[in-house]
Structure formats: C-alpha cells, structure tokens
Amino acid sequence: MKLIDIARVIRSKNAGPTTLTVDLMFNDAQGYAQAQASPALTPAAIAALYGLEPRQVEVIPYPPACAIKIVMDRRIVAGTPGDRDVYGAQQHGPLLEISL
C-alpha cells in the first residue's frame, strides 16, 4: 500500500530558511499505526529519498492527532540561487510514491 492511499494530508513547508517539515495526517488510528510501523518512514529511509544523512532527519509521531511530522535539513538555503521552491511547499513529492 502506498502512503498516498492512507494519508489524508501530505504537505511540506519551510520551518526556517534551512529546515523543512512534512506533515502526514491520517484518517484513523489504523492508518496511522501502519505508517508509524513502516520501515519506509524511518529517518534513514527518508534521508535516502532526499539525499541527506539520517542524522539530518527527525520523525516525530503525534498519536493524539494520528499524525507524523518529519523535520529535515534543506539541501539549499531557501531563497538562495538555485533554490526552486522558496516556501518548501513542493518538497513532499518524493513521499507520494513510497510503499509502506
């Protein structure tokens, strides 16, 4: 099953000029639990998708809201030459194709 099939919301945004956050929100506890247990959502797996080191990624579960927040370093500072997404709003794309 793909993440996109069970997540109600998959979005990204800046958390400052050098950090991105990705929010994953699920409709129910079952989908949340499946995602939370998946090896595809570990810091190492996320880091591999984004070309980062695992130490640059933090996965923060929030069970009361059936949500997971992923915090990671940006590879390029927001707004500098070469940055193609100043607001970080399109950085969730690699997660859309992962299988849990």
Model confidence over 59-80: pLDDT tens digits?
999 999 999 999 999 989 999 9
CATH classification at residue 52? 3.30.70
How much is the pLDDT for 6? Answer: 94
* Total number of domains in the chain: 1
88 inside domain: no
- Are 51 and 75 in contact, with CB atoms under 8 Å apart? yes
87 inside domain: no
How much is the pLDDT for 47? Answer: 97
Per-chain mean pLDDT for the chain = 95
Residue 46 confidence class, pLDDT cut points 50, 70, 90: very high
How much is the pLDDT for 35? Answer: 96
pTM score: 0.93
Segments forming the whole domain that contains residue 60: 3-75
φ, ψ of residue 2 to 5 degrees: the values are: -90, 150
92 inside domain: no
Residue 51 confidence class, pLDDT cut points 50, 70, 90: very high
68 inside domain: yes
Model confidence over 22-45: pLDDT tens digits?
999 999 999 999 999 999 999 999
